[in-house]
Amino acid sequence: MRELRAMYLHALTKYVQSGSEDSAAFTSELGPLITSLLPEDTIALHEESMQVLIQNVSLEQALQYYHKSFVFLMEIIVFSRMLQLNGQGGSLLGELKQMLKKTEHSLSSIKSKYENVLQHMDSGIALFDEEGYCTFANLKLSHIIGVPRKKLIGRDVFSLMGMHEIERGRRKMFARLYRELVVYRIPMKEIIDESGRHFLVSVKYDEELEGDILVSVKDVTEFKKIEQSAYHNDKLAMLGKISAAIAHEIRNPLTSIRGFIQLLLPELKKLGREEYGRIILSEIDRANEIIYEFLNSSKPSAPDKRQVSMAELLREVTLLFQSEALMKGCQIELLPVSETLMVDVDAKQIKQVFLNIVKNAVEVLGEREGGIQGRVRVQAERRDDGIWVSFEDNGKGMDAKTLSRLFDPFFTTKLEGTGLGLSVSYRIIKNHGGAIHVESEVGVGTTFRVQLPL
């Protein structure tokens, strides 16, 4: 029996490792020796040999070996049965072999077809068995995680969390997802990675999966941008309706009050209460400024575009804030901009956008502690998709929650802010056909990038 095991293992190894589809050369020698065995004994011998054969190969290669070995096993059993029939039924053996080859080819074609579909889906797909081991992962998931497919297949969930090839932040994210989606059985979870990309992760435990777990990961960043853009537009439209409704109703009485206070100023001066009048006038002017910002943010007026030198426009913006920046202990650094870089914009509106961004940066830098000098670096360059102007500061930065509401009307982190500056800027850039992108990291700083079309 030991000699038979050795012969079977040798023949099986040569067949599965060869490129041949014809097993006759390998099975004819074994056939006469197998005739004395029962089918279940032959199957046990085959399984024992396969266990030895796959000990030092990858999971993917082991699956290939098993798939090919089934043809070998079937032909061995059929060949031995034919010998028991004293050589009769040779034509039947040939028909069975042809049937086996056709079946194998059909299965391979179907498997290849559906695997290609899964590989080219725009969602990351992974399949885990009942014991938690990954049995399939497509290329999209490999790209999202940043690890080759071969290193994912065959690993369990916990070893994936400990892979050094995966960034620490993502490993923590995996642990959180495992707790919420697997332990607490939450079917779906939206997450944001360290680069700010949005992913929708879902887990299915259908009975049709027979105990396996199907994990799907979809990048929904672009959908989120569209959703946020629509959300901002709705907010600005609402703001426009509010401002249009209340602006005239408030401005008219304020104008009357201001006029009467000015008439009363001489009388207040006689009483030594002139300062009261000035405070009232200053607060009325502040209320008028807020109403003016309301009106500006709600006006959908088309920009009056003209050819403007970007270098000259940025010089004017930086000069306006140089003195205030020095008073707050920071500096504004304008990197060289080509004098030939021209842009077709409404200079007044775009200057308002740039002033809002620089003003916010300077105010934040003035609050910075730790003795590090604040800096706002301004630069502009031409790219294929337009002109990009960036404003980079080394302030305290913003968290993800603040970033998500940055352009909402009335949202502000400043004690005396109205929360309208950036929402107005957003509307102006949109009216110019451009976009504003913001990147920020707490404790590091913030970068505003304004894209203007050529």
Q: How far apart are CA 37 and CA 80, in angstroms?
A: 9
Domain ranges in the chain are 2-119, 123-219, 224-298, 306-452
102-106, 211-215, 253-257, 291-295: segment of lowest average pLDDT? 102-106
Tell how many helices (H) and how many strands (E) occur in the chain.
15, 12
CA distance 127 to 132: 9
Q: Quote the tokens at residue 414.
A: 């400043």
Q: How far apart are CA 435 and CA 431, in angstroms?
A: 10
Same fold, 123-219 and 306-452: no
Nearest-angstrom CA–CA distance, 128 and 160: 12
Which CATH topology does 306-452 take? Heat Shock Protein 90 (3.30.565)
Collect all residues with Cβ–Cβ distance below 8 Å to 154 and sequence separation of at least 6: 58, 59, 133, 134
- DSSP reduced 3-state for 440: strand
Is the pLDDT assigned to residue 429 strictly greater than 80? yes
Percentage of the chain with pLDDT > 70?
79
Angle between helices 221-270 and 421-431 (to 10 degrees): 130
pTM of structure: 0.46
Question: Would you say 71 and 20 are in contact if contact means Cβ atoms under 8 Å apart?
Answer: no
Q: What is the DSSP letter of 123?
A: E
Nearest-angstrom CA–CA distance, 421 and 355: 10
The pLDDT, as a whole number, for residue 452 is: 92
What is the C-alpha separation between 181 and 119, in angstroms, rounded? 24
pLDDT for position 173: 82
pLDDT of residue 88: 47
Name 374's Cβ contacts closer than 8 Å, sequence gap at least 6.
325, 328, 329, 330, 331, 362, 365, 366, 368, 393, 394, 395
Out of 30-39, 95-104, 250-259, 350-359, which region has the weakest mean confidence (pLDDT)?
Answer: 95-104
Q: What is the mean pLDDT of residues 164-193?
A: 82
Buried b (16+ CB within 10 A) or exposed e, 106-132: eeeeeeeeeeeeeeeeebbbbbbeeee
Q: Specify the CATH number for 123-219; select among 3.30.200.20, 3.40.50.720, 3.30.450.20, 3.90.550.10.
A: 3.30.450.20
386-393 and 435-441 beta bridge pairing: unpaired
Assigned token pair, 36: 């004395």
Confidence band for 83, pLDDT divided at 50, 70 and 90? low
**What does the mean pLDDT of the chain come to?**
79
Q: Which residue shows structure tokens 């290939």?
A: 64
Separation between Cα atoms, residue 256 and residue 118, nearest integer Å: 71
- What is the residue-wise DSSP string for 244-272? HHHHHHHHHHHHHHHHHHHHHHHHHHHTT
Of 362 and 68, the one with more pLDDT? 362
pLDDT digits (tens, 9 = 90+) for 432-446: 889 999 999 888 899
Stretch 177-198: mean pLDDT: 82
Among 21-35, 61-75, 110-124, 335-349, the range with the most confident prediction by mean pLDDT is: 335-349
Mean pLDDT of 323-328: 84
Which residues are CB-neighbours of 54 under 8 A, at least 6 positions away?
Answer: 61, 62, 65, 66
Spatial neighbors of 5 by CB under 8 A, at least 6 apart, are 45, 48, 49
CA nearest to 389, candidates 331, 311, 302: 311
What does the alpha-carbon distance between residue 345 and residue 433 come to, in Å, rounded to a whole number? 10
The H or E element that residue 282 is part of is: helix 274-298
**Interval 115-141 mean pLDDT:** 80
Q: Give per-residue pLDDT as tens, 266-298.
A: 888 888 888 888 888 888 887 877 777 666 655
- Residue 303 and residue 363 in contact, taking contact as beta carbons nearer than 8 Å: no
Alpha carbon of 99 to those of 106, 109, 158, 195, 341: distances in Å?
11, 15, 44, 54, 73
Give the confidence band of 89 by pLDDT, cuts at 50, 70, 90.
Answer: very low
Which range is most confident: 208-212, 276-280, 338-342?
338-342
Q: Dihedrals φ, ψ of 416, to 5°?
A: -110, 15
Structure confidence at residue 371 (pLDDT): 65
Please report the sign of the dihedral spanned by the C-alpha atoms of residue 41, residue 43, residue 44, residue 49.
positive
> What is the predicted pLDDT for the residue at 369?
64
Residue percentage of the chain with pLDDT more than 90: 11
Please report the pLDDT score of residue 383 as a whole number. 87
